Chain A
């Protein structure tokens, strides 16, 4: 009887159903992750815009604030802000998207990058949800590769809209800062060319 079960009709249907179910579950998981990350990718873009605008208005965007406004999951959001590109950089072809570190020059325009998900560091420490539940590495999936699937990020640049040079001192400082910043940006652009 044991050797006949695979040849019997009921056994055949069961095996096929299990294979089919496994396929569907796999596809369902894939769709769920894809939808979740795609949705959050769009959210990072809106969050980056908000963070850049906040910075431009003279506030410092916090990850907690951004997370509360734009995301459903906690502890997975990172916000980085820095000095963005000026008109001198128009000729260089450099792009805020290429930035890995943000320098803070103290003046605008500002660029903000919002990321959501797990970084390679998170995966290695296994302390972040949901890795803390598993405490394992995926086979054939080193952390940097995994990061591409589990983290989305966007950036946005906004000018220093909160500083309108409404008093003399700020106006003079602003003119000097702009001149210095743009000349150095222009030179940097020439060097990059």
Chain B
């Protein structure tokens, strides 16, 4: 059967394509180029994923380190003020003790001066003069006792108020500086990040996440458009506190012994009427035994130290190929420490732990880091050597490091 003209032409061309092998090498090369281009795109994509992963970790590490720094600075300021308070108390205790002893001396010197007044015109005038001088000096020193006590009380009030402000303000500074470090190191709004990973986390827990994911993505977008953003957040907000508290002193120079208070009060009460009434004693003013509410003092100082913090930050953009971000190695597990100074690089930690229990898998771009303040705790008198450290990641609240537990310190 003879085919119509155009069909005959088509059949001829089809036969030619089947039998003609020209152009096959170019075709093969084209396929290879296509494969190579795909590999190139994947290379870019994977690089982007690794870049985002490291950006997230850099951000959260910078945040955790900054937060610990500001906690440490707050602790050091508290310690400086404790030390100053201690020194001032110590000095004023000595000064007030001397003044109160003078009150006791005045109780004898003033009557002695009265008694020897008749010797003024004799060759024994020096005896009167010595008594007069002693009475004047001791009464005037006694006069300072209430003022020293009052001054100490005012000083203590001011110092404790400043310390109170430090204990309140520095956790806020720790949060804000952590936030700005994370932002400027490339982190995205942490709320958007968390919502963008809710679906992943929920599916890790074995729950159907399809309906939740859409809603969370919408929320993530909405949060991303808010004018105020948070770039790093502590998993346990109470960990931001300096965890210092006022503690009452039990010994000198924080607290006067009871016997010293009684003795001092008696000495002032005895000396005041004598010194105030004697016209031969040149007083700067009248000794006021009622000036201090309580003689001596029982002072408070700040005491304690912050615990560890675990921070979270991350990147929203999850444009890696084929779930690379879910791979174990990519989440930091089994990673070897790089051959550089181990300088706060929690990204090289061998994985996050829950106090020795199973490892917790987290999405790759949701980075976490822990830090804490190390050095001497804030005490009544001691060195101001607190410093921030990035430590192996711990999850609050069940994983509080126990005393003596070995920490993996990177600094």
Contacts and interface: CB of A to CB of B under 8 A. Distances in A.
Interface of A: 9, 12-13, 16-17, 19-21, 23-24, 26-28, 30-31, 34-35, 38-39, 41-42, 45-46, 48-50, 52-54, 56-57, 69-70, 84-87, 89-90, 95-97, 109, 111, 155-161, 164-168, 171, 174-175
A159 B66 contact: yes
Nearest to A157: B184
Nearest to B50: A42
Q: Which of B44, B66, B185, B341: most chain A Cβ within 10 A? A: B185
Given A20-B29, A24-B29, A87 B179 contact: yes
Contact of B181 (A57, A157, A165, A168): A157
B25 A16 contact: yes
Chain B interface size, as a band, is 35 or more
Given A27-B40, A157-B62, A21 B50 contact: no
Given A157-B181, A159-B62, 19 more contacts: A16-B23, A20-B26, A21-B29, A24-B32, A28-B36, A39-B47, A41-B47, A42-B54, A45-B55, A49-B58, A49-B61, A85-B183, A87-B177, A96-B185, A156-B62, A157-B184, A164-B385, A164-B386, A165-B76
Contacts, number: 168
A20 B28 contact: yes
A31 B40 contact: yes
Contact of B384 (A57, A84, A165): A165
B212 interface: no
Interface string B69-91: 11011001100100000000000
Contact of B184 (A28, A96, A164): A96
B409 interface: no
A24 B388 contact: no
Nearest to A33: B40
Give 9 nearest A-B pairs by CB, closest first. A20-B29, A38-B47, A16-B25, A157-B184, A27-B36, A159-B66, A87-B176, A96-B184, A49-B58
B256 to A, nearest CB: 27
Given A50-B343, A109-B66, A161-B65, A12 B179 contact: no
B116 to A, nearest CB: 51
Contacts of B51: 41-42, 45
A96 to B, nearest CB: 4
A21 B29 CA distance: 7
A45 B58 CA distance: 9
Contacts of A166: 76, 383-386
A24 B54 CA distance: 33
